[in-house]
Structure 1
Amino acid sequence: MTRPDSAVSSASRPDAVFGAQVVRPGVVLFRLWAPSVDAVGLELDGAPPRPMEPQADGWYALELPCAVGTRYRYVLPDGLAVPDPASRAQDGDVHGASIVTDDPSTYAWQHPEWRGRPWHETVLYEMHVGLAGGFVAAARRLPALAALGITAIELMPLNDFPGRRNWGYDGVLPYAPDARYGTPDELKALVDTAHGLGMAVMLDVVYNHFGPDGNFLPRYAAPFFRDDVSTPWGAAIDFRQPPVRRFFAENALYWLSEFRFDGLRLDAVHAITSPDWLDELPAYLYSRVDRSRLIHLVLENELNAAHRLSEGYSAQWNDDGHNVLHRLLTGETEGYYEDYREQPARLLATCLGEGFVYQGQPSLHKKGKSRGEPSAHLPPTAFVLFLQNHDQVGNRALGERLVRLADARALRVAVGLQLLCPQIPLLFMGEEVGARTPFLFFTDHRDELADAVREGRRGEFAHFAAFSDPEQRARIPDPNAASTFESSVPPQAPVDADGVAWQALYKQLLQVRAQEISPRLPGARALGAQAVGEAAVTARWRLGDGVVLRMDINLGAEGAEVPSFDPARVRLLWAERGGAPWVQASHDQGVSPPFSIRVWLMEEATS
């Protein structure tokens, strides 16, 4: 979904209206949408500002002889100098000057023949580039991940944020790779390296809010935000404004074209108050693409808007799947897990058989408000299934991973379910080696904002029983402490025998998926699933070649009965019981023992 390589020429970014554009060698066009002020100056390398020329509809522009590498800022009538909101690179942090960057065609791609991978082959690995050591260090990790069976890396947001450490969701300059991670060319090299290993690269982008520090847009472009709608992070972005729509559409195209990302994960789109923009985005991108490339758009959406998954978007993160599995693995029922308190096995069956659990029912956590749309008509590959991710681990007070929360036998069953069912699996960095390090919420704010973030973070957990007392909440790590970031760095390789066993499990399961499941996923559809015990489910899917995939899963300590079948023309793909290989699995008809999983391929449908 990007422009053909031939279209990215010395004319720089011909469709772009935001940012400093090299229009011909040695000449740069600067543009800024600033409808809230009556004048704008352009400061180059600290020299006195030059007045920009007013244009229609609140735009200002100035074309000047200018070298790549020039530092520039826009100067408002009150003297405030601000970075370019579409800066491609920053000199330091978000409060510093923007940098005129090279023409995008100057990077020498080592794998220009890469055209992506089909979605059904996807095994995602979510990575925080900062915890990986930056762009160069992250690239060095890729061969080991490819050998494990990962086919796509998903990078958490990496555009410029305030300070030295951040999850990335506090970004304020959506076009600029954060300088702490490396240069734009080093990011391109990371993507290029992945392509050489046969791996796609997705990028998490945030189009629903700006961070609390370094966002100067309200000073000169107040219409960028709504004054009548708020989000959990402040005033909603006003997608009713054509320049705002264009700003983010261009941003999506920028990452896909100039950095050759293979897709985008759109964060929390339920907080985008003009959903018609989401309807338009795929068409905008597809109309500007080299059709030989495979690009995928993935949503995070609390609304479970199933209709979008057949209208240009490849898949949605399946929070329902995670939440019910977490409930079964840990027994937790506080917070949003209260929606999965009752009959969790039945809810898991719904997830496996229909995709979403919530398809229009009222949510207890949302105070009775209904959530979701019917999803049973969608293919299983329209859902990204995970046991852990940055949200689900990092939004815990102490950032514990499942290896610290769940019975290892049940967790192994859940991993088998995740990696062998037809939904698209996503792993969170570190889980493949059984990392016991936490993943904590970390920032690098200063002064009053740092205090507000720390106290706000602790206040979020006041209604949880374990943190109801102020002394208990004081144990929650300070997001701004360097130690909070440092303790979140996961190991790159197993550190003990348990880690070796986890890594072996993931590798074996991903080999089975690559050989037996992924090739059969085009055309797959669910045949149904049912709860057969308090923590046991059996599920079936008709795969694209007509073979039936059956899974019998028991995450609990009590055995259960499962439907029997004719053992003729049936092949067992995987079986575990009690955390070890289940050698008699083929002979134990009609039972699902505690902490067990069996995965079968059947040439004929079961009764």
Structure 2
Amino acid sequence: MSFRHAMPYGAELHGDGRVRFRLWAPDAERVLLEIDGGGTHPMRALDDGWHECICEAAAGTGYRYRISEALRVPDPASRRQQGGDVHGPSVVVDPAAYRWQHPRWSGRPWREAVIYELHVGLMGGFRGVQAALPRLRELGITALELMPIAQFPGERNWGYDGVLPFAPAAAYGTPDELKALIDAAHGQGLMVLLDVVYNHFGPDGNYLGAYASPFFHAAESGQQTPWGAAIDVAVPQVGDFFVHNALYWLEEYRFDGLRLDAVHTLGNPAWLASLAARVRAAAGEHRQVHLILENEANQAHLLRAGFDAQWNDDFHNALHVLLTGERSGYYGAYADDAIGKLVRCLAEGFAWQGEPMRGKPRGEPSAHLRPLCFVDFLQNHDQIGNRALGERLSVLVPPALLDACYALLLLTPATPMLFMGEEWASTAPFLFFTDHQTQALRDAVREGRRKEFAEFESYGKAEEIPDPNAAETCDRSRPDPAEAERPEGAARQALLRQLLAVRKQHLLPHLDHARALGAEALAERALHARWQLGPACLRIYCNLGDAPLAIDIPPTRGARWLHGEPSAVAALAEGCLAPACTLVCLEPSAC
């Protein structure tokens, strides 16, 4: 069986030896289609800025659009780029060529999600990720989340510089190799999610402004992103372009869900809700598709408007301050009463629910949402890679303290996420890397990166910050599987495997209806939290301090201990919570 998504954009095979090419170019008076080996064909101007041509062509044919004598551009809806060149010809692709081995896969419910975020290039491309599937499944992972894979310039990139959002990056493999990865994951019972970027295009290879200026907000509108011109999804052709992109990945590649990057920079929650509605309608009743947000605005209402969950930066930031004592940058907003902010995350979801942050109100009330609406994590690509030297927590925090945090992460009802290499306590940094092809961009990115961290004395001299464009910067970011064989690596894997098994057995059956019953700070680095979990009460006692803590909140008799050393459990019964310790129990009746 094969799958395809019919698009109003780009190149669509007709099945009779002809292909329909269609481009939205409202600023162009005339557009010509150039086909490799097939000459040049005038495109017919349609209403509302559309241009179309139907002519003979086959799968594998290269093509591009001539906007003027001086400007030839790839198809913005290209399914594949010839040689991976963002400036070169696009390639006609037959979506039906791949024969799916597991076509009846319909997904898994969100309550089962244990997410593993990864960078495809650092894991050896689509084939390398496919080879890792059995290991990740055995660990207890149920969902892979791929960082963006849209075609970018060069051979290496985080993915957020993509300019052709329908074309899988050639550096990672072919479209069919991506489908084979997803197919194999489904055969192993694993979901595959994709990080998509709808808020900006990268700086190299984006030609849309030359012939479709309505794609972007006008400069005088004041709407800009940190990465360039803001996309105007309120324009119907633009909004539909990204809706079709979402449907394309879900239908043609059979991804199980999407994570939408930095949606707060779109400034259009109504469009987000409409995208979710169209995705839900297309998926139907029998397929489980999940939509996740990254949204600094903490717009809780979207989590009842078709979106399953949001990355919870508040949980990470508060916990990071408790673990490291760092106060620079955005951590400064959490430094005052970090434990109180972490407690609020456990009890209500977001730490910021409308209160001022840096002088501006941030967030909406979230206590009414179920815990599964919040994706919690200790690390992710941003929180490691946006550090000047890309250090992981494994080199910043003692192992025993991190072990306590993993119990807090994996044995609460929120949706947990791990970052690649975290499972074996990787010490490799995750650095910001690119492969821009012009010297001007190389210089701008390097100097911009150094300027960004110039005010932080702890990062040393600017020239010590790795050059994003150097190949070795990418190479250093590759986790070393040999570290998994070290005693610390083996111990971390054993702990995560055990915690995820406990989560599956004791928490999973009740997660859909779990609700927070409250949380409280016990000290500057210690807390106690409770959730109703089916007929039982889930309790967590967590002390991230370095000294024992006297407490007066003993568990009830008959508590079933899910996690904790016997000596620490015995001490708790005597009113003492051990240092660097998380204890988890189920009590047989409601709290």
TM-score range, shorter chain: over 0.9
Q: In the alignment, what sits opposite 1:583?
A: 567
The answer for unaligned runs of 5 or more in structure 1 is 576-580
Q: In structure 2, what residue type is equivalent to 1:253? A: L
Could you tell me how far apart the structure 2 residues matched to 1:582 and 1:259 are? 48
Shift of 1:586: 4.2
1:423 equivalenced with 2:421 (yes/no)? no
Q: In the alignment, what sits opposite 1:243?
A: 237
Q: In the alignment, what sits opposite 1:529?
A: 519
Shift of 1:161: 0.4
Could you tell me how far apart the structure 2 residues matched to 1:314 and 1:13 are? 23
Indicate if the aligned counterparts of 1:121 and 1:519 stay in contact, CA closer than 8 A: no
Q: In structure 2, what residue type is equivalent to 1:386? A: F
Indicate if the aligned counterparts of 1:536 and 1:592 stay in contact, CA closer than 8 A: no
1:550 equivalenced with 2:539 (yes/no)? yes
Could you tell me how far apart the structure 2 residues matched to 1:41 and 1:568 are? 79
Q: In structure 2, what residue type is equivalent to 1:479? A: P
Shift of 1:413: 0.6
Indicate if the aligned counterparts of 2:349 and 2:367 stay in contact, CA closer than 8 A: yes
**Structure 1 segment 214-253 matched on structure 2, within 5 A:** 214-227=205-218, 228=221, 229-253=223-247
Q: In the alignment, what sits opposite 1:370?
A: 361
Could you tell me how far apart the structure 2 residues matched to 1:298 and 1:191 are? 19
Query: What is the RMSD of the two structures over their aligned residues, measured on CA atoms?
Result: 1.4
Shift of 1:78: 3.3
2:456 is aligned, of 439, 464, 474, to 464
Indicate if the aligned counterparts of 2:283 and 2:289 stay in contact, CA closer than 8 A: no
2:355 is aligned, of 353, 357, 361, to 361
Indicate if the aligned counterparts of 2:258 and 2:290 stay in contact, CA closer than 8 A: yes
Shift of 1:201: 0.4
Could you tell me how far apart the structure 2 residues matched to 1:500 and 1:25 are? 57
1:539 equivalenced with 2:520 (yes/no)? no
Shift of 1:387: 0.3
Shift of 1:316: 0.2
Could you tell me how far apart the structure 2 residues matched to 1:195 and 1:67 are? 30
Indicate if the aligned counterparts of 2:568 and 2:577 stay in contact, CA closer than 8 A: no
1:438 equivalenced with 2:429 (yes/no)? yes
**Structure 1 segment 486-501 matched on structure 2, within 5 A:** 486-492=475-481, 494-501=484-491
Indicate if the aligned counterparts of 2:269 and 2:302 stay in contact, CA closer than 8 A: no
2:440 is aligned, of 435, 448, 454, to 448
Could you tell me how far apart the structure 2 residues matched to 1:197 and 1:214 are? 37
Indicate if the aligned counterparts of 2:568 and 2:578 stay in contact, CA closer than 8 A: no
The answer for unaligned runs of 5 or more in structure 2 is none
Q: In the alignment, what sits opposite 1:388?
A: 379
Could you tell me how far apart the structure 1 residues matched to 2:107 and 2:201 are? 30
Per the alignment, in what secondary structure is the counterpart of residue 153 of structure 1?
Answer: strand
Kindly indicate which of the two structures has a greater share of residues assigned to helix: 2
Q: In the alignment, what sits opposite 1:141?
A: 132
Shift of 1:291: 2.0
Indicate if the aligned counterparts of 1:585 and 1:598 stay in contact, CA closer than 8 A: yes
Q: In the alignment, what sits opposite 2:28?
A: 37
Q: In the alignment, what sits opposite 2:178?
A: 187
Could you tell me how far apart the structure 1 residues matched to 2:570 and 2:237 are? 62
Q: Could you state the TM-score of these two structures normalised by the residue count of structure 1? A: 0.94
Identity score, percent: 54
Shift of 1:77: 1.9
Q: In the alignment, what sits opposite 1:578?
A: none
Per the alignment, in what secondary structure is the counterpart of residue 521 of structure 1?
Answer: helix
Could you tell me how far apart the structure 1 residues matched to 2:555 and 2:195 are? 46
Q: In the alignment, what sits opposite 2:327?
A: 333
**Structure 1 segment 136-285 matched on structure 2, within 5 A:** 136-227=127-218, 228=221, 229-285=223-279
Deviations 1:355-395 (CA, angstroms, capped at 9, x unpaired): 100111111xxx31111011111000000000000000000
Q: In structure 1, what residue type is equivalent to 2:448? A: G
Indicate if the aligned counterparts of 1:386 and 1:427 stay in contact, CA closer than 8 A: yes
Query: CA 1:565–1:555 in structure 2 vs 1: closer, same or farther (change >3 Å)?
Result: closer
Q: In structure 1, what residue type is equivalent to 2:390? A: G
Shift of 1:48: 4.0
Q: In the alignment, what sits opposite 2:310?
A: 316
Q: Could you state the TM-score of these two structures normalised by the residue count of structure 2? A: 0.97
Equivalent residues, number? 584
Indicate if the aligned counterparts of 1:552 and 1:562 stay in contact, CA closer than 8 A: no
Could you tell me how far apart the structure 1 residues matched to 2:435 and 2:568 are? 54
Shift of 1:492: 3.0
Indicate if the aligned counterparts of 1:560 and 1:591 stay in contact, CA closer than 8 A: yes
Query: CA 1:256–1:566 in structure 2 vs 1: closer, same or farther (change >3 Å)?
Result: closer
Q: In structure 1, what residue type is equivalent to 2:561? A: L
Shift of 1:568: 2.5
**Structure 1 segment 565-604 matched on structure 2, within 5 A:** 565=554, 567-575=556-564, 581-586=565-570, 588-589=572-573, 590-604=575-589
